[in-house]
Amino acid sequence: KNQVEQSPQSLIILEGKNCTLQCNYTVSPFSNLRWYKQDTGRGPVSLTIMTFSENTKSNGRYTATLDADTKQSSLHITASQLSDSASYICVVRDTGTASKLTFGTGTRLQVTL
Amino acid sequence: DGGITQSPKYLFRKEGQNVTLSCEQNLNHDAMYWYRQDPGQGLRLIYYSQIVNDFQKGDIAEGYSVSREKKESFPLTVTSAQKNPTAFYLCASSMFEGTGNQPQHFGDGTRLSIL
């Protein structure tokens, strides 16, 4: 069964600090991995999409890494801001004929003063 | 601005009642999706459509129905057969292309509750 596991479940950091969120997956065969940001009460917004051949991808202060051999990804947030407070969801797509997305349960990040 | 509009933002259902959630997109996307989000769980796919007048069941289609009469619209009906409908419902759309590397764009959801 395809699974995506994220850690930690929740995280509190001070504004200006960096943090790293983790994602492990068992989805096979692998197509791509996505990170989304979801503000409370809103829909998810895409941050990055990485394919098998991509190790690192950045979007402003967000940097995602992918290790397809160990089936792990991380999302690093640099110089956090209050507006980074949200849930961050890791999503993996397979390449089957009925290819679909497997969603993690998310990491809830709170950035405080 | 291009985007996905879901309405209403909040919806209440009485016992035995069918309710319909609206989803409209002006992104000219071919594919549209409906997801259900429950606390502590990942998003689960209800139905998806890759082209007008065609749609497929997702993982949790029982108690739901959809239609795709126009490219821009993909309404979801929660029927009385869905015994646990309380959830946050998200509609999404994407370009339909062979690699599957296009992101899904989401609306801001409809929160459905039981009266």
* Cβ <8 Å between B100 and A95: yes
Chain B hits for A101, CB-CB cut-off 8 Å, are 43, 45, 104
**Measured CA distances, A56 to A13, B61, B104, B111 (Å):** 24, 36, 20, 35
Could you say which of A43, A102, A104 has the minimum Cβ distance to residue B90? A43
Q: What are phi and psi of B61, to 5 degrees?
A: -75, -20
pLDDT tens-digit map of B37-62: 999 899 999 999 999 999 999 999 99
Check: CB of residue B56 under 8 Å from CB of residue B33.
no
- Separation of alpha carbons B31 and B104, rounded Å: 9
Could you say which of B45, B106, B111 has the minimum Cβ distance to residue A44? B106
Rg (CA), chain A: 14
- DSSP three-state, residue B80: coil
- Which residue of B lies nearest to A93 if distances are taken between CA atoms? B100
- Which residue of B lies nearest to A103 if distances are taken between CA atoms? B42
Inform me whether the C-beta atom of residue A59 falls under 8 Å from chain B C-beta atoms. no
Could you say which of A43, A51, A98 has the minimum Cβ distance to residue B106? A43
Residue A22: what pLDDT? 98
Mean pLDDT of chain A: 94
pLDDT tens-digit map of A31-81: 999 999 999 999 999 999 999 899 999 999 999 999 999 999 999 999 999
- Which residue of A lies nearest to B48 if distances are taken between CA atoms? A100
Report the percent of chain B where pLDDT is more than 70.
Answer: 97
* Cβ <8 Å between A49 and B101: yes
